[in-house]
Amino acid sequence: MISFANGCMLFELPSGESIPFSAEMISIEVMGDGVGGLDPDVVHHAATSVFHYFKFDLARQTVSVGEFAEALENVLRGLGLQVDNPEPSPTAAQCAGADLRRLARESGDARELSFFPRLRDELRTQLRRSPRVVRFSGLRGCVKHLAGARRWSPRCQSLHDQIVAFLRECLGAEAPAAECSLVVE
């Protein structure tokens, strides 16, 4: 197992991927989501406290994003703050998605040459279901496979950005008036 900084904890994303965050990093992420009209300092301190609770009081190495969000919401409510629940997440029937790693593997030796047309076709297939959300997971693994890299590099970052931009452009071309969100993780 790869060790990470002592002040970090792994956050499990819904996709199954885990990302290390420090207390400061998670506070920035939480505030970046726009926590309504709440004071950013209060949210920062509450997120840091919840992080400390999981990391040191419970001695946990990992926590799911949902579990952390629920605990943070409870802390903020305990402080007497009104925490609005965002609109419910779309049901599985309203979501469509694909695994970018699978598309990259299926591209074979042609790699990027056949990957991008496959990606466009996959997006079109998903959009035929008229979903509210189109989710593509496994971006990091996909990029490393296509780049033939074992470690993240500037080439990987460039390819990462190209894939995201390509998906945005394709979504705009395929469904310009549709109320459909794109999630790439």
Given this model, what pLDDT does residue 103 score? Answer: 92
Residues 98 and 57 occupy one common structural domain = no
Final residue belonging to a domain, choices 54, 78, 102: 78
* In-domain check, residue 171: yes
In terms of domains, do 62 and 117 share one?
A: no
More confident residue, 137 or 4: 137
Chain segment 59-107, per-residue pLDDT in tens: 888 888 888 888 888 888 888 887 765 555 555 546 677 899 999 999 8
Give CA–CA dist 115/108, Å, rounded: 9
Who has greater pLDDT, 154 or 22? Answer: 154
Q: Indicate if 98 and 178 belong to the same structural domain.
A: yes
Same domain assignment for residues 97 and 73:
no
Considering the domain architecture, whether residues 67 and 104 belong to the same structural domain is answered as no
User: Is 123 buried (19+), middle (13-18) or exposed (0-12) by CB count in 10 A?
Assistant: buried
12 & 61 share domain: yes
Q: Say how far apart CA 52 and CA 181 lie, in whole Å.
A: 34
Question: Is residue 32 in a domain?
Answer: yes
Highest mean pLDDT among 34-43, 59-68, 134-143, 170-179: 134-143
pLDDT of residue 29: 58
Residue 177 is assigned to a structural domain of this protein: yes
Residues 100 and 53 in one domain: no
Q: Alpha helices of 79-153 — where are they, by DSSP H? A: 100-106, 112-127, 139-147
Cβ neighbors of 102 (< 8 A, separation 6 or more) are 138
Are 69 and 121 in the same domain? Answer: no
pLDDT averaged over every residue in the chain: 81
Q: State whether 65 and 117 are in the same domain.
A: no
Residue 3 covered by a domain? no
Domains held by the chain: number:
2
pLDDT digit string, tens, across residues 109-121: 888 899 999 999 9
Confidence at 185, pLDDT banded by 50, 70, 90: confident
Domain that holds residue 165: 92-184
Supply the Cα-derived Rg of the chain in whole angstroms: 19
